[in-house]
């Protein structure tokens, strides 16, 4: 592909990924009931398409450009850091998987691997921002969500790459990956994800944490304890406005648990998380670098509701 045509093609991909990013922001999150932080990741379709047709270097440019421009729409440095960590790690792992064709992953398997490492990258950055490694307990649910998102993105990419017209439009040779709809390693990967994720969730929830007696609620801002509250019973109620240098969160303690009822962060994931009442659960607000967790009497279990 000539440089001018390549530049035009890359510009089109950036524009399309931005459109998909904006469109997704208006679509109800299908994972909000179990994983408020998880997303379908429509813009990742463009990342995988670019990787197939352009290679790693040019795809990296497309990805970084999209993330920078998307951050301007969605809100600041934290959004940029959160997206770029997951995006780069996902791109690296998908590129490696495509190169190792002997492993026999289809585009669906490549997409699922990209989704897995995108979530891992975001969790790494989230743990740095809120200064709590306990957020990785949320990983099993995110890994499970990687299956439907990876399947969808992989099928879309397969449809596009197997459309002969696209090769005429961008004037390049038909060099699509010779990989079918499903391969053996795809099935193995999905099976491992399901068994591993559900097994981890089961182990995490073995302990009965529904007892509301003597639960401590801890509000942490930038790694420092902002306030601790003793929840004696379900009748206890209190509203707290948590002011940080990044904004505010209204915390409402009631019915033996807590929720954030309002915040001025750009994504409001902390508000969408809803009510938590089990020992060890956490509500995190990454833009404000704060989180709320419920502690047990004798030990802390850093489970996540994010």
- The span from the CA of 39 to the CA of 102, in Å, is 30
Per-domain boundaries in the chain: 3-204, 215-295
Helices 56-74 and 44-54 meet at what angle, rounded to 10?
A: 160
Protein fold of 215-295? mini-chromosome maintenance (MCM) complex, domain 2 (2.60.320)
Q: H/E/C letters for each residue in 198-223?
A: HHHHHHHCCCCCCCCCCEEEEEEECC
Phi, psi of 163 (to 5 degrees): -90, 110
pTM: 0.79
- The span from the CA of 59 to the CA of 65, in Å, is 10
Protein fold of 3-204? Arp2/3 complex 21 kDa subunit ARPC3 (1.10.1760)
- Please report the beta strands in the chain, taking only residues with DSSP state E, as ranges in sequence order: 215-221, 224-231, 238-244, 247-254, 257-263, 282-285, 290-295
Query: Rounded to 10 degrees, what is the CA torsion of 53, 113, 32, 70?
Result: -40
Helix (H) or strand (E) holding 277: none
Q: Is 237 exposed, middle or buried (0-12, 13-18, 19+ CB in 10 A)?
A: exposed
Helices 107-130 and 76-99 meet at what angle, rounded to 10?
A: 150
Per-residue pLDDT tens, the chain, 306 aa: give them.
567 888 888 999 999 999 998 888 787 766 655 665 667 889 999 999 999 888 899 999 999 999 998 888 766 677 788 889 999 999 999 999 888 765 677 888 999 999 999 999 988 988 888 887 777 877 888 888 899 999 999 999 888 887 766 665 555 554 455 555 677 888 888 899 889 888 877 776 665 444 445 688 899 998 889 999 988 888 889 999 999 988 999 999 998 889 999 999 877 888 888 888 877 788 888 888 899 988 865 444 443 333
Enter the DSSP assignment of 259.
E
Conformational region of residue 221, where left means phi above 0, alpha means psi within -120 to 50, and beta covers everything else: beta
Q: Are 182 and 265 in contact (CB under 8 A)?
A: no
């Amino acid at each position: 592909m000539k440089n001018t045509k390549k530049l035009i093609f890359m510009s089109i991909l950036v524009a399309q990924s931005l459109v998909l990013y904006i469109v997704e922001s208006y679509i109800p999150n299908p994972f909000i009931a179990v994983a408020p932080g998880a997303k379908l990741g429509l813009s990742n379709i463009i990342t995988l398409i670019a990787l197939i047709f352009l290679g790693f270097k040019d795809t990296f440019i497309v990805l970084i450009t999209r993330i920078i421009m998307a951050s301007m729409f969605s809100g600041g440095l934290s959004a940029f850091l959160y997206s770029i960590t997951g995006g780069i790690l996902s791109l690296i792992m998908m590129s490696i998987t495509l190169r190792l064709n002997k492993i026999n992953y289809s585009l669906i398997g490549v997409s699922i691997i990209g989704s897995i490492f995108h979530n891992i990258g975001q969790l790494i950055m989230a743990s740095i921002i809120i200064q709590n490694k306990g957020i990785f307990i949320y990983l099993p649910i995110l890994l499970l969500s990687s299956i439907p998102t990876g399947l969808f993105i992989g099928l879309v990419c397969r449809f596009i790459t197997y459309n002969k017209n696209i090769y005429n439009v961008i004037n390049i040779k038909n060099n699509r990956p010779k990989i079918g709809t499903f391969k053996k390693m795809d099935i193995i990967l999905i099976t491992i994800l399901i068994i591993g994720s559900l097994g981890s969730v089961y182990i995490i929830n073995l302990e009965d944490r529904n007892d509301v007696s003597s639960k401590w609620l801890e509000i942490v801002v930038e790694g420092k304890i902002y306030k601790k509250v003793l929840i004696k019973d379900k009748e206890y109620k209190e509203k707290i406005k948590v002011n940080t240098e990044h904004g505010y969160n209204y915390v409402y303690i009631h019915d033996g648990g807590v929720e954030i009822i309002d915040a001025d962060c750009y994504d409001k994931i902390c508000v969408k998380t809803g009510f938590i009442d089990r020992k060890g659960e956490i509500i995190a607000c990454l833009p404000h670098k704060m989180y709320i967790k419920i502690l047990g009497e004798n030990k802390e279990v850093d489970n996540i509701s994010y």
